[in-house]
Structure 1
């Protein structure tokens, strides 16, 4: 007001201009936005054979008689409905899921696709919704596939198995310790696979329809050789990609210390490729990542 009263020629800057000045001087804190996990970016695989698509999820926690929580992890083959794994844990964690998957891969071979929801540890908030678990799967030659948020029916076969498991647990099959509960889970899995006929299988049991994958795994993570035609970079700490004069961009912490390739496209963009899978595109003009998930 003093300026207006003593300098009639003074013009008050626009509110947006004042805001820009304050931001430039670091006087306006950045708004914290909720980081959302991306949904699936392509149509779900149409299931036609064994080991084409496996589904994984946690059924939902319940209390043992000791009042400790049990979180059942389940893994099924979508074509045959075969229950590959049913194991309880005291919490939902990436190491536990990875161990369950490792045991299944060693015993039964590798699927082409692993279908999950968008929760941890299956998905993250970086490009393509990558998590460390998803990066590991890609390196094994398994494509992570996620259903849309709020659409559990897209994993309907797995959800129906969950309903059967939940109903069975409620019928007096809750025990004192995790070891006792696991023995029951193992028995339930045998019953589900070899004693229960399924209408969708024309009355057959999953165990008579399913057979192990032909993609055997020896427990090693293979090295991936990128083809010629692009530039290979190593993702630095905290998921940052340094490209010299091209700029610096954030990709995903799940990709830290991994190698990606940038391959120029006809439209001037560059595809960001990890082990043969296009994760996003890089725009050189704006030095920004264009997400496709």
Structure 2
């Protein structure tokens, strides 16, 4: 599809944006309603398209966390401030979103976005200014941490 689009619309490109837009729209119409596609049994995409039954919501509702969790907002750097001098790296994809931290052991914490556990971390022995904690997913946790995490879950 991209190769065909490039051949028909981009090499050479049109003289102005309005003409380029018209060219792209013409290509999209031909591609979806006139040209048959082998993968669709020589039908056109426009003839087999069915609108989704799912209702589109303009806004996604705010996440709800239970009262045992502490809620934080992810900063523009993709991290949340932990205490006054430390940070927890989360993801820049979640900047501006609310995440929550649940205590899972004496020094262990798990970080959640909605009902998904993004990972866990273990508190340091002492506070260091500017320290960043890196989340550990269950896939790459050391076995000792997993064992400790399982014991703390069984006892609670």
TM category (shorter chain) comes to: 0.5 to 0.7
Identify the residue that residue 290 of structure 1 maps to in structure 2. Answer: 135
**Partners of 2:52 and 2:67 in 1: how far apart?**
31
Identify the residue that residue 111 of structure 2 maps to in structure 1. Answer: 272
Give the alignment's Cα RMSD to 1 decimal: 3.4
Residues 30-179 of structure 1: pairs in structure 2 closer than 5 A: 161-169=1-9, 174-179=13-18
Q: Which runs of 5+ in 2 are unaligned?
A: 126-131, 140-156
Task: Say whether the 8 Å CA contact 2:90–2:135 is kept in structure 1.
Answer: no
**Partners of 2:17 and 2:116 in 1: how far apart?**
39
**Partners of 1:261 and 1:289 in 2: how far apart?**
15
Question: Cα offset for 1:260?
Answer: 0.3
Task: Say whether the 8 Å CA contact 1:197–1:205 is kept in structure 2.
Answer: yes
Secondary structure in structure 1 of the residue aligned to 2:72: strand
In the superposition, the TM-score normalised over structure 2's length comes to 0.62
2:77 is the counterpart of 1:232: no
**Partners of 1:186 and 1:265 in 2: how far apart?**
55
**Partners of 2:4 and 2:136 in 1: how far apart?**
38
Q: Which runs of 4+ in 1 moved over 6 A?
A: none
Q: Which runs of 5+ in 1 are unaligned?
A: 1-160
Measured against aligned partners, the alpha-carbon deviations of 1:160-180 in whole angstroms (never above 9, x if no partner) come to x212212222566x3111111
Task: Say whether the 8 Å CA contact 2:89–2:135 is kept in structure 1.
Answer: no
Question: Cα offset for 1:228?
Answer: 5.4
Secondary structure in structure 2 of the residue aligned to 1:180: helix
Aligned residues: 131
Secondary structure in structure 2 of the residue aligned to 1:260: strand
Question: Cα offset for 1:192?
Answer: 1.1
Q: Which of structures 1 and 2 has the larger relative contact order (alpha carbons within 8 angstroms, sep 6+)?
A: 1
Task: Say whether the 8 Å CA contact 2:9–2:23 is kept in structure 1.
Answer: no
